[in-house]
Amino acid sequence: MKDPKQSGLDRREFLAASSAAFVLGFWLPPRAAAQTAPQHGASWYTEPAHPEINAWIVVEPDDTVIVRIAQTELGQGVWTSNAMMVCEELQCDWSKVRPIYASANRDAREMAPQWTLAVPGAGATDPNGGGEPTFGNRARTGGFGIPDSLYRRMRTNAASSVKDGRYYLQLAGAEARERLMLAAANSWGVDVHELTARDSVITHSPSGRTTTYGKVAQLAAQTPHPNPEAIAIKPPEQWTLMGTEQKNLDIAMKVTGETKYAIDVRVPGMKWAAVKSCPVYGGDVKRFDAAAIRSKPGVLGAMQFPIPDPKLTRGRVFSGGVAVIADSWYQAKSALDSLSIEWTVPPERAAFSTASMRAALENALDEPGRVRVNQGDVDAAFARASRLVEATYYTPYLPRARMEPGNATVLVTDDRVDIWIGDQSPQETRFSAAQITGIPEENVYLHMCHLGGGFGRNGNGPQAEQAIMIANAHRGTPIHLLWTREEDFIGTTYRAMGMARLKAALDADGWPLALEVRTGMQQDGFGPDASFDIASRYHVPSYRFSNHTTDFHVPVGTRRGVGQAAHEFYRESFIDELAHAAGKDPYLYRRELIARTELPFKADMIKALDMAAEMSGWGTPLPAGTARAIALEERGVETGGSATISAMVHTVSVSRDGRVKLMRVDVAHESGFGLVNPLSVKKQIEGQITWFYNDAMHQACNIEGGAIVENNFDRFSLSRIDEDPPIINIQFFPTAHWLVGMGHDRGTSVQAAIADAIFQITGKRFRELPLRQHDLRWG
C-alpha cells in the first residue's frame, strides 16, 4: 500500500488523467473517513452489535428488530412493505421494527442461502405459493447483479420489489421465527411444537412460560435450522400484517428534515465537485481555460473527465465534461459558471433536432418494420371494410426530473472504494466502481441513501461513474459530486420519443375487423412491445403489430411507465376514436371488445371497467364543458402469469378559454391475491395519476442542435397542487393471481382520457402530447 499521504493526490496521475487540468494542493484526510458512523437520520448499513439471525434480520436484546432492505426507498414505500413481508412471518412486535439498508458489499462476497432459491408453489395463479418472480438475465455485467448473490435482485425497478422479493422475504422471516422458537425450546428442554410466537413473545402453553425474541436471539443466531427447505410461507388468508394499511416507517424523519439523502452526506475531508458535460450527447471537451478560475475562492482544482464507458451505462453514450473541485459546492459551481469550455461535438449528433427526429420516425413508420404479431389477414380485411379509421400519435422525450439532482460521494483509496449514494441499482454501481478503479467489487462499499425521487433513474445515468472517475483521480479525498438541475437534464436517461400509427377496418356495425399497429421509437428504446405484443387487448379477427426503429443519440432508459405509458395513450385513444366512429359508448365498446377476446384475465378487465364506470356515475348528466372518459390499464394480461389490471374514469372540464381541469378520478384496481400495504398502493396511484397527467398536459423535452432544450423547471413544467384532482376514489377488487406490481404504470389512462374529454367537449381531437401546446378553446 502506498503512503496514505501520497494517496490524496498524485500529481502525475492527476495530470495524466486530465491533460488540460491544473492542480492545487489538496488537504489530505485520514483514510478512516470511510468508516464514519452513520449520521443521525441516515439509514445506511451498519455492522450489527448483536449477531444476526439471517442476512435480513438482527434481533437486539430489547426486542428491536432490524430488517435489512435490499431495495431502495424512493417514495414508493419499499422500506415499509419489505419489512412487512419479513415481519408477517417473523411475528414480531411491529412497533419495534427498524429497517436499514442491506450491504451491497456483502452481496458481492456472499451467495444467497440455498433455501431462498427455490420459489414455492405453482406460479402466478397459486395463492399458496411465492408468485412468479422474474430475475431476468443476471449476468455480472448485465445490470442484475451476480447470479444468486446474497440479496439477489437489489435493483429497484419495474414495480417488482414485491413481486420478486416476497417469497424469499417471507421465507427469511419464517426461518428466523422458527430458529428463535427452536432456541427457546432447546433452552427450556421442551418440544418446539408446544410453543407459539406472537409480537416477539414466545409462549410455552403447557407451562405458561414466556420469553422474548430479544432474550433468545443470541442463541438462535447459533442454532441452525434443521431443514430450511421445508419452511413454508403463509398464504394470504393467514396474513395479519400484510394486507393492512401501514404508514411508512420512515415518515417521522421526513417531516423534520432529518432524512439523510445522498445530497446531505458529509464525511470528514470531503470536497465538492460541480461538473459541466457537453450538452450534446457524445460530445467531449476540446479545451478549457483552467487558469481563469485558479484564484477563485475555495477552488482546489479542475479536471476533464471522459465520456463514461458505455459498458458501464447500459450502452448509453453520455458526454465528456469538466469538473471543478472546491471546498463548497457553491464555490465549485460559481467557478465552473465562469469557465469557458470549448467542446468537440460529432457533427452528426449536433444535427439532431426534434423536427428531424420526428420526420425520421414518421418515415420509419412507412417502412415494413419488424413484425411482432400477424394474426388473420389484415390486408384482406382492410380491402373489404366498410370503413377505415387511421390515426398517428406522438409522444415526446421525457426525463424523470426527480427532485433531488444527481449526486454521489466517493472515496477511493488504494484498496477500497466507498460510495454514498441514492441508487436504484447498487450492484451495477459496484461493478462500475471496480471497472473504473481496478479495485475488486469485494472491496467496494455502498452506503445507500434514500432517493429524493427515483422514477427509474440511476441504473443508467452516469452520476456514479462521473463521481468515481473524479474521486479516482483524487485518491484519499472524498469527493461529493452534485449536478445542477441543468446538468441533471443532461445526465438523466429519457423515455424515448415515440410515434404510432394505428389503422382499423370497421364492419357495418362499427366493430373492428382488423387492426394494424405500428409503433416507432429509437432502436434502443425501452418497451417497444408493451401493450401490443402477443395479442390485441381488444378483439379483432385480424391483427398485425410491428416495431419501426431508427437510430437517435439521446440516451434512453427505464422512465416510470417505460414504453407502456406511451403505448397505452396510443391504444386507448384509438379505441375511443373507433367508438366515436362507430357511434358507440366508449365504455361499452371496450367491454364488448374485451369480452370477445380469449385473453386469460378478460373477466378481470371487464370487472375493472364495470366498477370504474359505476363508481363514476357513468352516463349520468354532467354540466356543459365537462366530460367523462374511461380507459383500461393492464400489464401482463396476454400471458396468463402475473398481471396488473385497473381501469379509471376521468372526469374532465375544459373552459371556453381552453383551461383543462381534471376534476375527479374513479379507480377500480385489482388486488390480486393480496396487496402488501394497501395504503402505499393508494399513495402510488394518487401520485401516478398526476405523473401521467403531467405527461398528458405539460411535459416535453425537445432537441435542438443535438441538445436538450427544456433543462430546468422554468421551461420544463411540473404541475402544482392547484391542478391536483380534488376527488380520487380508489376501490380494490380481488382477483385470482399475483400482481406484477403497481409502482410505475398505473394512471396511464389519464392521457387518453383527457384527450378524449377534450374531443367530447371541443370537437377537436389531439394526438400529440403534451396537450397544452394545442388550442383547446371552444364555443
Binding site for another protein (CB under 8 A): 73-77, 247-248, 250-261, 263-264, 266, 297, 328-330, 400-405, 450-455, 482, 484-485, 679, 683, 686-691, 712-714, 718-722, 724-726, 728
Strands (DSSP E) found in 278-357: 284-288, 299-305, 321-326, 341-344
Using the minimum distance from each CB to another protein, give the nearer residue, 209 or 266: 266
Using the minimum distance from each CB to another protein, give the nearer residue, 165 or 405: 405
Beta carbons of 296 and 334 less than 8 angstroms apart: yes
Residue 512 Cβ vs another protein, minimum distance, rounded to whole Å: 35
Reported residue count of the chain is 779
Using the minimum distance from each CB to another protein, give the nearer residue, 485 or 596: 485
Beta carbons of 274 and 313 less than 8 angstroms apart: no
Using the minimum distance from each CB to another protein, give the nearer residue, 38 or 453: 453
Count of other CB atoms within 10 angstroms of residue 727: 10
Using the minimum distance from each CB to another protein, give the nearer residue, 125 or 688: 688
Residue 451 Cβ vs another protein, minimum distance, rounded to whole Å: 6
Q: Could you give the CA distance from residue 221 to residue 61 in angstroms, rounded to a whole number?
A: 12
Coil, helix or strand for 356? helix
Half-sphere exposure of 395 (CA within 13 A, CB side): 33
Using the minimum distance from each CB to another protein, give the nearer residue, 253 or 373: 253
Coil, helix or strand for 402? coil
The single residue listed with the C-alpha cell 396537450 is: 771
Using the minimum distance from each CB to another protein, give the nearer residue, 333 or 358: 333
Residue 259 Cβ vs another protein, minimum distance, rounded to whole Å: 6
Using the minimum distance from each CB to another protein, give the nearer residue, 251 or 292: 251
Question: Alpha carbon of 129 to those of 122, 133, 445, 639: distances in Å?
Answer: 6, 11, 35, 19
Question: Alpha carbon of 617 to those of 135, 290, 611, 628, 731: distances in Å?
Answer: 42, 66, 10, 9, 14
Residue 754 Cβ vs another protein, minimum distance, rounded to whole Å: 16
Using the minimum distance from each CB to another protein, give the nearer residue, 21 or 83: 83
The cell for 691 is 405523473
b/e map 123-156, b = 16+ CB within 10 Å? bbbbbebbbbbeeeebeeeebbbbeebbbbbbbb
What are the residues whose beta carbons fall under 8 Å from the beta carbon of 714, sequence distance 6 or more?
Answer: none
- In eight-state DSSP terms, residue 654 is E
Q: Could you give the CA distance from residue 38 to residue 24 in angstroms, rounded to a whole number?
A: 31
Beta carbons of 61 and 217 less than 8 angstroms apart: yes
Residue 366 Cβ vs another protein, minimum distance, rounded to whole Å: 37
Beta carbons of 38 and 46 less than 8 angstroms apart: yes
Using the minimum distance from each CB to another protein, give the nearer residue, 214 or 461: 461
Using the minimum distance from each CB to another protein, give the nearer residue, 10 or 258: 258
Using the minimum distance from each CB to another protein, give the nearer residue, 586 or 725: 725
Residue 334 Cβ vs another protein, minimum distance, rounded to whole Å: 9
Of 572, 513, 546, 503, which Cα lies nearest the Cα of 374?
A: 546
Q: Could you give the CA distance from residue 215 to residue 338 in angstroms, rounded to a whole number?
A: 62
Residue 676 Cβ vs another protein, minimum distance, rounded to whole Å: 15
Coil, helix or strand for 288? strand
Residue 544 Cβ vs another protein, minimum distance, rounded to whole Å: 37
Phi, psi of 736 (to 5 degrees): -105, 50
Residue 467 Cβ vs another protein, minimum distance, rounded to whole Å: 17
Strands (DSSP E) found in 457-559: 479-482, 498-506, 512-522, 542-550
Using the minimum distance from each CB to another protein, give the nearer residue, 78 or 176: 78
Strands (DSSP E) found in 540-698: 542-550, 626-635, 644-654, 660-672
Residue 724 Cβ vs another protein, minimum distance, rounded to whole Å: 4
- Residue 613 CA, chain-centre distance (Å), reads 30
Residue 671 Cβ vs another protein, minimum distance, rounded to whole Å: 19
Beta carbons of 413 and 475 less than 8 angstroms apart: yes
Using the minimum distance from each CB to another protein, give the nearer residue, 301 or 678: 678
Residue 728 Cβ vs another protein, minimum distance, rounded to whole Å: 6
Using the minimum distance from each CB to another protein, give the nearer residue, 55 or 324: 324
Coil, helix or strand for 750? helix
- Residue 340 CA, chain-centre distance (Å), reads 36
The cell for 47 is 455492522
Residue 193 Cβ vs another protein, minimum distance, rounded to whole Å: 40
Residue 679 Cβ vs another protein, minimum distance, rounded to whole Å: 6
Beta carbons of 739 and 670 less than 8 angstroms apart: yes
Sign of CA pseudo-dihedral 321, 326, 328, 331? negative
Half-sphere exposure of 543 (CA within 13 A, CB side): 14
Residue 613 Cβ vs another protein, minimum distance, rounded to whole Å: 22
